[in-house]
């Protein structure tokens, strides 16, 4: 879209919707007492940090944005990586347009690409895209541009918030409710022999939050005395989460009364209806059991807190964000450093996504290759959407 620095061969921020090629990314103190009375020479000031090169700024923007522009490179060189991140964290959100219920499906795609190319809050746009690869919703089942736009809006809004809130908003998105069958999922009915749908309960654990095996902070798998991987959960846990997440339906349309099963509507979070919420106890992770008799919102919040406090939450998310933004095969030490930022942002706050993103992008392993030729493992295969 705009002229690139001459040193870059793969960072232009422009997108061609049919291109499917993959490219590799990432191409003091002295001893004097003051007042000048010590008699000795003044200590030398610390050396100034080396100025950023065009190559380093370009490489950083290829990770933190949808590619650099000449102006962006000059600005990053002027303010530095850390200050640029702070600016981006504070930048106003560039929203997606509201569309009619009948808008063609490619309306959502066009809106996404327009923001990827033009939005000034590039970090938010890029992180939201990374999150969309973790918390997946597909138009193969959610055949609505309005639904897809409102789902991506959730990711944009929560990109710099708390992981716990992100999990809640993703879970209650009507688009996710349709895609993984949580919407209108009801309690067991002994008369008909039906039980709650387990699709979202299983995928929430396996693909969205903790994974199938217990992890150490560095992402390596915990093993038992026989060197076998230790499982994170079992079928009883899946059933417990599935029961905890019953009793939710589409949000009511403006001006319409809420019903037991509202008609399809994709603006706003799903609504709870206690009549269809499973009333019994539910087994969760780490041996926790929810008591019976809680409301649908109470069970939802307890279940998501149980996930976000699990030992796997940090390394699970760390690995996936590193892979989406920086490199395909991070070292265990890199994962552990990002996991530590998830566990504590420096102010005793767990799951602060700003701290996690900063740790991902400023880590020494992420910056390897800024001042020297990048090694074969210092990048990743770029997704077609990012390359285009």
DSSP 357-371: HHHHHHSHHHHTTSS
Angle at 127 between CA 17 and CA 371, to 5 degrees: 95
Domain residues for 275? Answer: 163-311
What's the mean pLDDT in 251-257? Answer: 93
Q: Are residues 154 and 8 in the same domain?
A: yes
Of 311, 342, 358, the last residue of a domain is 311
In a domain, 32, yes or no: no
> Is the pLDDT reported for residue 88 higher than 80?
yes
Same domain, 113 and 173: no
Better-predicted residue by pLDDT, 33 or 210: 210
Q: Could you tell me if 303 and 349 lie in one domain?
A: no
Same-domain pairing of 346 and 387: yes
Q: How confident is the model at residue 5 (pLDDT cuts 50, 70, 90)?
A: very low
The structure's pTM equals 0.87
State percent of the chain over pLDDT 90.
Answer: 80
pLDDT of residue 10: 39
Q: Which two tokens stand for residue 44?
A: 């030398």
Residues 297 and 354 in one domain: no
Helix, strand or coil, per DSSP, at residue 99: coil
Cα angle at 350 between 352 and 163, to 5 degrees?
Answer: 50
The answer to whether residues 227 and 305 belong to one domain is yes
d(Cα 319, Cα 338) in Å, to the nearest integer?
8
The answer to whether position 40 is within a domain reads no
Residues 260 and 345 in one domain: no
Of the residues 279, 311, 343, the one at which a domain ends = 311
Residue 240 lies in a domain: yes
Q: Is residue 361 part of a domain?
A: yes
Position 21 pLDDT exceeds 80: no
151 plus 294 within the same structural domain: no
The residue behind tokens 């569309």 is: 99
How confident is residue 369, by pLDDT bands cut at 50, 70 and 90? confident
> What pLDDT, in 10s, does the model give residues 215-236?
999 999 999 999 999 999 999 9
Could you tell me whether strands 289-290 and 282-283 are parallel, antiparallel, or unpaired per DSSP bridges? Answer: antiparallel
Residue 377 lies in a domain: yes
Write down the pLDDT at residue 14: 42
Q: Which two tokens stand for residue 295?
A: 């409301």
205 domain residue, yes or no: yes
Share of the chain above pLDDT 70, in %: 87
Q: Give the pLDDT of residue 46.
A: 66
Do 274 and 364 lie in a common domain?
no
In a shared domain, residues 282 and 265: yes
Q: How far apart are CA 77 and CA 58, in angstroms?
A: 9
Q: Is the pLDDT of residue 31 over 60?
A: no
Residue 17, pLDDT > 60, answer: no
Mean pLDDT throughout 237-241? 99
* Among candidate residues 311, 338, 355, the one where a domain is terminated: 311
Do 15 and 115 share a domain, yes or no?
Answer: yes
Per the structure, how many domains does the chain have?
Answer: 2
Q: Domain check: are 220 and 256 in the same one?
A: yes
Bridge partners (DSSP) of residue 248 are 185, 272
Mean pLDDT of 43-54: 77
With beta carbons less than 8 A apart as the criterion, state whether 152 and 96 touch: yes
The contacts of residue 150 (CB under 8 Å, 6+ apart) are: 173, 174, 175, 266, 267
Residue 23 clears pLDDT 60, i.e. is over it: no
For 124-150, write each residue's pLDDT tens digit. 999 999 999 999 999 999 999 999 999
Tell the burial category of 224 from Cβ atoms under 10 Å away from its Cβ (0-12, 13-18, 19+): exposed
Which stretch of DSSP H or E encloses residue 282? strand 282-283
Question: Does residue 316 lie within any of the structural domains?
Answer: no
Q: Which residue has the tokens 């008699």?
A: 39
SS3 111: helix
Domain membership of residue 319 (yes or no) is: no
Give me the pLDDT at residue 384, please: 76
For residues 155 and 299, give the distance between their C-alpha atoms in angstroms, rounded to a whole number: 23
Q: What is the pLDDT of residues 181-203, one digit of tens each?
A: 999 999 999 999 999 999 999 99
């Amino acid at each position: 879209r705009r002229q690139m620095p001459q040193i870059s061969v793969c960072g232009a921020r422009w997108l061609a919707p049919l291109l499917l090629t993959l490219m590799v990314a990432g191409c003091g103190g002295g001893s004097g007492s003051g007042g000048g009375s010590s008699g000795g020479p003044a200590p030398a000031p610390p050396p100034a940090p080396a100025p950023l090169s065009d190559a380093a700024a370009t490489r950083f923007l290829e990770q933190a944005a949808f590619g650099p522009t000449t102006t962006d490179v000059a600005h990053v060189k002027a303010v530095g990586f850390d200050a640029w991140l702070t600016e981006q964290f504070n930048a106003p959100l560039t929203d997606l347009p509201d569309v009619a219920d009948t808008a063609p499906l490619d309306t959502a795609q066009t809106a996404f690409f327009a923001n990827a190319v033009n939005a000034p809050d590039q970090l938010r746009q890029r992180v939201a895209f990374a999150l969309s690869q973790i918390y997946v919703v597909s138009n193969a089942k959610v055949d609505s541009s309005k639904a897809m736009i409102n789902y991506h809006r959730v990711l944009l809004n929560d990109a710099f918030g708390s992981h716990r809130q992100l999990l809640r908003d993703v879970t209650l998105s009507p688009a996710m409710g349709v895609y993984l069958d949580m919407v209108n999922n009801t309690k067991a009915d002994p008369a008909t022999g039906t039980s709650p749908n387990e699709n979202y309960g299983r995928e929430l654990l396996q693909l969205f939050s903790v994974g199938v095996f217990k992890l150490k902070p560095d992402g390596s798998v915990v093993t038992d005395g026989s060197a076998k991987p230790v499982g994170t959960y079992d079928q009883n846990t899946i059933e417990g989460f599935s029961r905890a997440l019953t009793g939710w339906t589409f949000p009511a349309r403006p001006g319409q009364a809420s019903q037991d099963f509202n008609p399809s509507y994709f603006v706003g979070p799903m609504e709870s209806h206690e009549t269809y919420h499973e009333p019994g106890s539910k087994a969760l992770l780490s041996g926790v059991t929810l008591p019976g008799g809680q409301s649908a919102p109470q069970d939802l919040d307890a279940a998501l807190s149980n996930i976000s406090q699990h030992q796997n939450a940090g390394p699970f998310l760390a690995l996936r964000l590193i892979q989406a933004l920086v490199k395909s095969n991070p070292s265990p030490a890199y994962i552990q450093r990002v996991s530590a930022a998830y566990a504590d942002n420096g102010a005793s706050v767990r799951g602060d996504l700003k701290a996690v993103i900063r740790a991902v992008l400023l880590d020494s392993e992420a910056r390897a290759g800024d001042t020297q030729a990048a090694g074969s493992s210092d990048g990743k295969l770029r997704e077609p959407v990012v390359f285009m």
